Amino acid sequence: MVLAVIPFRPKNPKTRLSCVLDPEEREKFAVMMLSDVVKTTSGAGCRTIIISTEEFSIEGAETVVMDLGLNEALNEFLSEINEPVLIIMSDIPLVTIENIESIISTKSDCAIVPGRGGGTNSIFIRDPSRFSVDFYGTSFLDHMNIAEKAGLSVEVIDTFRMSTDIDEKEDLVEILLHGNGESRAYMESLGISLSVKKGRVGIERDSHEEAL
Amino acid sequence: MVLAVIPFRPKNPKTRLSCVLDPEEREKFAVMMLSDVVKTTSGAGCRTIIISTEEFSIEGAETVVMDLGLNEALNEFLSEINEPVLIIMSDIPLVTIENIESIISTKSDCAIVPGRGGGTNSIFIRDPSRFSVDFYGTSFLDHMNIAEKAGLSVEVIDTFRMSTDIDEKEDLVEILLHGNGESRAYMESLGISLSVKKGRVGIERDSHEEAL
């Protein structure tokens, strides 16, 4: 059974969605996305731990509270375990069980899922004592370098669904097009829907005066 | 041997890259991306035809000139053939031979590769007499509907590399991070490189006064 670790910040998440969602909605939406991810890791048979910046609970996972930055928290956590670990971001609700199975069945020492724009949306590390994470910026390249310096083989996993982290208004389009979990249902409950203008696909929200 | 068809517009392509590339560079860059795609379809054993809006030639493919809109040209072409066909866009230079093999080996009647933002970046059609294309807008949903109405089974292919069509400045980041073909070499020859500012990854160009 592989351990899945999901870092999560319950308070004031997803600030770049402020143009569409109010603070309370952003918090709820972040939990819905996390819930979609937890269902997938659990569904793939992983034991799932949330590393949260504060007290938090969600069905299907344990929570460890660590009031540290993302890298500091993850690296401290990695230093304390002795088993293969899958780190996965909480904002990729399109992830499927098949995606998770594909990563954790890699024959390499590590498997990395790049996010759009140079990020890392998930990383599987067979031996955490030989690896440390470095998120932010071009973390995809950084993680490739860290693995290479440690002499670890890496498989890069090619998946659109997992490369799609939800940060900005435009990203919500992907949930409405390809999602089928709680985060999609929550968006729809808020009256958010697809809108096509001049051939470009965006979103609009019923309750607002004008299209967002 | 599967027939691969790539629509291409040699003149004034990729206007949304005008902020980074001058008109001549855009034309060259579009050809480099096309070349990366043609090498992949050929490498996967496809016979490759370019449907071009005007006279054009490139190694590894035949060209058919059709001075029509994208949908009109493709549907006219589809109506004239009686074999499985892979339609693939010319602006997805990250595509790999494994990607192509995965699509054309589908067991379904069709296979669709969604692009980011609701588009369709490639579609495999086993029996072109039973399908017509409808690009632009939410073409991914439109193609799913067309297949459903025709009673055709569809496999949706989950690939980041093929979902990444290069339209805007931000998309160039992906070529520098994940590309290894002619389009990447051309960008580098123009002095375009990655730039990280406030944790966000973008591109900059040597010859310009300021970062783009």
The pLDDT of residue B208 is 52
The pLDDT of residue B209 is 46
B165 in Cβ contact with B115 (< 8 Å): yes
**Set of chain B residues whose Cβ sits within 8 Å of the Cβ of A194:** 118, 138
From residue A72, give the alpha-carbon distance in Å to each of A69, A86, A156: 5, 17, 24
Q: Is the pLDDT of residue A58 over 50?
A: yes
B84 in Cβ contact with B42 (< 8 Å): no
Contact criterion met (CB < 8 Å) for B173 and A140: no
The pLDDT of residue B17 is 97
Question: How do the pLDDT tens digits run along chain B, 212 residues long?
Answer: 899 999 999 999 999 999 999 999 999 999 999 999 999 999 999 999 999 999 999 999 999 999 999 999 999 999 999 999 999 999 999 999 999 999 999 999 999 999 999 999 999 999 999 999 999 899 999 999 999 999 999 999 999 999 999 999 999 999 999 999 999 999 999 999 999 998 889 999 986 544 44
Nearest CA in chain A to B114: A160
> Using H for helix, E for strand and C for coil, what is the string for chain B?
CCEEEEEECCCCCCHHHCCCCCHHHHHHHHHHHHHHHHHHHHHCCCEEEEEECCCCCCCCCEEEECCCCHHHHHHHHHHCCCCCEEEECCCCCCCCHHHHHHHHCCCCCEEEEECCCCCEEEEEECCHHHCCCCCCCCHHHHHHHHHHHCCCCEEECCCHHHHCCCCCHHHHHHHHHHCCCHHHHHHHHCCEEEEEECCEEEEEECCCCCCC
Please give the domain boundaries of chain B with CATH numbers for all domains.
3-163 (3.90.550.10), 169-205 (no CATH)
The pLDDT of residue A211 is 45
**Set of chain B residues whose Cβ sits within 8 Å of the Cβ of A162:** 160
Contact criterion met (CB < 8 Å) for B173 and A141: no
A208 pLDDT tier (thresholds 50, 70, 90)? low
Interface of chain B toward chain A, CB-CB under 8 angstroms = 96, 99, 114, 116-119, 136-138, 140-141, 158-164, 170, 173-174, 177-178, 194, 196, 199-201
The pLDDT of residue A210 is 46
Phi, psi of A80, deg, nearest 5: -105, -5
Question: Token pair for residue A103?
Answer: 């990563």
Query: Which one of A160, A167, A193, A203 would you mutate to disrupt binding with B, by most B Cβ within 10 Å of its Cβ?
Result: A160
Nearest CA in chain A to B172: A117
Which of B96, B164, B201 lies at the smallest CB-CB distance from A118? B201
ipTM: 0.94
The pLDDT of residue B25 is 98
- pLDDT digit string, tens, across residues A145-193: 999 999 999 999 999 999 999 999 999 999 999 999 999 999 999 999 9
Average pLDDT, chain A: 95
Give the minimum alpha-carbon distance from A86 to chain B in angstroms, rounded to a whole number. 20
Average pLDDT over residues A54-64: 97
Span of A89-93, A205-209, B24-28, B54-58 with lowest mean pLDDT? A205-209
The pLDDT of residue A209 is 46
Query: Which one of A116, A122, A170 would you mutate to disrupt binding with B, by most B Cβ within 10 Å of its Cβ?
Result: A116
Which of A96, A163, A201 lies at the smallest CB-CB distance from B117? A201
The pLDDT of residue B211 is 46
A93 pLDDT tier (thresholds 50, 70, 90)? very high
Q: What pTM value is reported for the model?
A: 0.95
A154-156 and A120-125 strand pairing:
unpaired
